[in-house]
Amino acid sequence: MLYEQSQLAVILFLSVVAIVVGISIQLMRRVTTPAGYFTAGGRIHWGVNGIAFVGDYLSAASFLGIGGMIATLGYDGFLYSVGFLSGWLVALFMVAEPLRRMGYFTFTDAIDSTFHSRGLRFVAALCTIVISVFYLIPQMVGIGALVTPLFGIPHYLGVLIVGVVVTIIVATSGMMATTYVQFVKGILVLVISVVLTLFLLQRGVMLPEQMDYREHRDLKTLEVQRTEAGYSIQTPNYALAPQWELTPAYAAGFVPVMEGQEVAPWRVEEHTNGHLLLQETQYIERSPDGTTLYNGAPPGAGRVFLVGTMAGIVVDGQRVDKTGALGPLEFLRTIYSSTVNIWPHTTYITPAGQMQVFYRSTVSGAELFKSGGMFRLNEKNLSARLDFISLMLALVCGTAALPHILIRYYTVPSQAAARKSTIVAIGGIGFFYLLSLFLGFGAMGSGFLNIMDTNMAVPLLARSFGIVLFAIVSAVAFTAVLGTVSGLILAASGAVAHDIMDRLMGIQMSATEKVVVARMAAVVVGCVAVYLGIVFEGMNVSYLAGWAFALAAATNLPALLMTLFWRGATSKGVVASMLVGMTAALTLILISPEMYVRYGLLATEAPLPLNNPALIALPLSWLTLVLVSRCTPAPSA
Amino acid sequence: MRADIRGITPELIQAKRRIGQRMVAVYLGVYALFVMVHVFFPAVPAIPCGGVSAGLVGGVALMLFAVLMALTYHVLCTRVEKRLTRTQNT
């Protein structure tokens, strides 16, 4: 069985929810002013804020996504974490202190502190909402991926339950509860990652036959022989689909095989002299009517089987079946010198819809320590190079532009505190990414990898050590999402209640009314987040976060930096740059090859072979700001 | 909430801004080098190094460098703050 519902996991999970919601409701009575709601009064200690930054930032994208990417792609997943961490230095050196000096509650406050323009307030607030909602997508997808197998409920229900819980937390006590949740989460994420890494190093690496903690199942193979009557399969119950040689499957390297009434693609492993050897695959079928089948059945049917095994282990030139305990460097070196079973995938279109087929392939470990799993840089392909540069640009520029990170700068009392808390964050986040290197490579050979849902790699790795650790890691992953989603909903509610209704529209509200409006805005944003989490089910969350980073970078970064550092910036220039950046980034994402696959089409049909929009949208936004500023009058002193 | 800005002079702001700009230039330069090596010399990160790949060693080194730069920035800023901050009493 793919997932066992663990009663312990469910109990732990519900306990976490109860504790967090309980704290929020207790704090609700203390939060009566806008300052209290949005910035916790501005008196949070820099050490607490630093760990809260860790908890705010290490969302599903990091805790689930990076490990999942490294587990399936190797080195290219690691490059994501290098990019993510690097963005913090831009935030530290350029944004942390100046922003703290200029602000009240929100990013819009900082931008508008020079210009005092209604148009700018509106656009900045709108952009905050869009970016926050966009970044909410990977969080809600991640939580759906986690909660679904845990409770045995459909993805949409998992997303709905979590959406409701988080909205309650934010709507009740805003930044106070959010800070505590993020602080606790930051500690939990770091501690559990250390624990999991230690368990992993203690177990070492082993061949699948040695894994006494799981059921081993060899992949099925079939032989196809050519006789006078034509090709046929000798194994009973299996038959070649009619006209199989003319199908899109065969053109893609697979043979459609019938087992009873069902047809499944089998990978052609060998094809010599009228004899084919076929190997079992796993596949996702997306029909135009919206249904998705996994190995020919709906998601809950349990047809998906876990993979993630070593093909051969070599230590110091000797082949072994298992290594025993390893040090950190030895662990990585062992994977490097061994052979690993990975599961690449191919996509093709059939009359029934889109087929994404995952097949096993054995590679040397060294292949997984260099680029190639996702970024085809070796092929000297121009679009692959541009896409890679675009992604690395988005990641390094995105952190300093994320609204939910920026608002956290207002919770500390001074600029020096803002600086110190950022440095604590960099240390914590850097440490986590180093650990996730081990978690990812460990999941690769743990025997508990779900190749069709890479977001589950780290929780399933924990599962390979037993139900208790799985339960704990799931609960921590849940708090990981909780912390970030709280921050995002808070940022968006701040944009609506404070930036738009209070400062822009000038609606007269008492302090209490402002807090009520902020709470209502939080509820609305929560509902939107739930909807999007359902629509984007299955997509790797780090990938989605890469998009959110590009959107934030293109929209906010030129506006923020130029407002802080260039006297020639005008409000019209800033408005134009934000609108251009946002429109360009969103448009490019919607026509990207990856989205085309989501639409049920082929990646090659996309008009532009660029998956990440930063390379085009960010310079465009910057240029717009400079040109429009030059053509419009300067702000009065 | 308004920041506690006692003792913060324009001179101090300028000094820290300069430090920040120089450090971001250094870090982004190294980061850009890391990215461009991958784009134009993809064989280099694949070179075996210390039992793993040069790319992995380089990536980890870059992350450690980031932490080091953050700490250096703090030391430089603290020094400049001590030198330039006027307290309310002076």
Identify the CA nearest to A177 among candidates A31, A38, A24, A388: A24
Contacts of B3 in chain A (CB under 8 A): 42, 100-101, 103, 413-415, 418
Q: Does A46 touch chain B (CB under 8 A)?
A: no
Closest partner residue to A385 (CB to CB) among B39, B53, B73 is B39
Query: Could you tell me the CATH number of the domain that includes residue A114?
Result: 1.20.1730.10
- A517 pLDDT more than 60: yes
Contacts of A433 in chain B (CB under 8 A): 63
Q: Which of residues 266-295 of A touch B (CB under 8 A)?
A: none
The answer to whether the CB of A516 falls within 8 A of the CB of A92 is no
The packing angle between helices A118-151 and A511-535, to 10°, is: 50
Q: Which residues contact A47 (CB under 8 A, 6 or more apart)?
A: A420, A421, A424
Is A381 domain-assigned?
Answer: no
- A591 pLDDT more than 50: yes
Which residue of chain B is at minimal alpha-carbon distance from A110? B2
Q: Highest mean pLDDT range out of A221-225, A444-448, B59-63?
A: B59-63
- A536 pLDDT more than 70: yes
Is A297 domain-assigned?
Answer: no
Question: Do the chains contact at A388 and B38, CB–CB below 8 Å?
Answer: yes
ipTM attached to this prediction: 0.91
A140: domain range?
A: 7-205+402-446+454-538
Confidence of residue B36 (pLDDT cuts 50, 70, 90): very high
- Annotate A85-141 with DSSP letters as a single string: HHHHHHIIIIIHHHHHHH-SSSHHHHHHHHH--HHHHHHHHHHHHHHHHHHHHHHHH
**pTM listed for this prediction:** 0.87
CA distance B71 to chain A (A): 7
Q: How far apart are CA A90 and CA A226, in angstroms?
A: 63
Is A234 domain-assigned?
Answer: no
User: In terms of pLDDT, which residue wins out, A203 or A290?
Assistant: A203
Question: Do the chains contact at A97 and B23, CB–CB below 8 Å?
Answer: no
Count of the separate structural domains present in chain A: 1
Which candidate in B52, B57, B65, B71 is best for mutational testing of the A interface (most A CBs within 10 A)? B52
Which residue of chain B is at minimal alpha-carbon distance from A384? B39
Q: Highest mean pLDDT range out of A21-30, A173-182, A579-588, B10-19?
A: A579-588
Is A168 domain-assigned?
Answer: yes
- A255 pLDDT more than 50: yes
- A354 pLDDT more than 80: yes
Contacts of B69 in chain A (CB under 8 A): 89
Question: Do the chains contact at A82 and B48, CB–CB below 8 Å?
Answer: no
- B28 pLDDT more than 80: yes
* pLDDT tens-place string over residues A321-333: 999 999 999 999 9
Q: How far apart are CA A476 and CA A473, in angstroms?
A: 5
Confidence of residue A377 (pLDDT cuts 50, 70, 90): confident
Q: Which of residues 22-81 of B touch A (CB under 8 A)?
A: 23-24, 27-28, 31, 34-35, 38-39, 42-43, 45-46, 48, 50-53, 55-56, 59-60, 62-64, 66-67, 69-71, 73-74, 77-78, 81
Mean pLDDT to the nearest integer, A536-544: 75
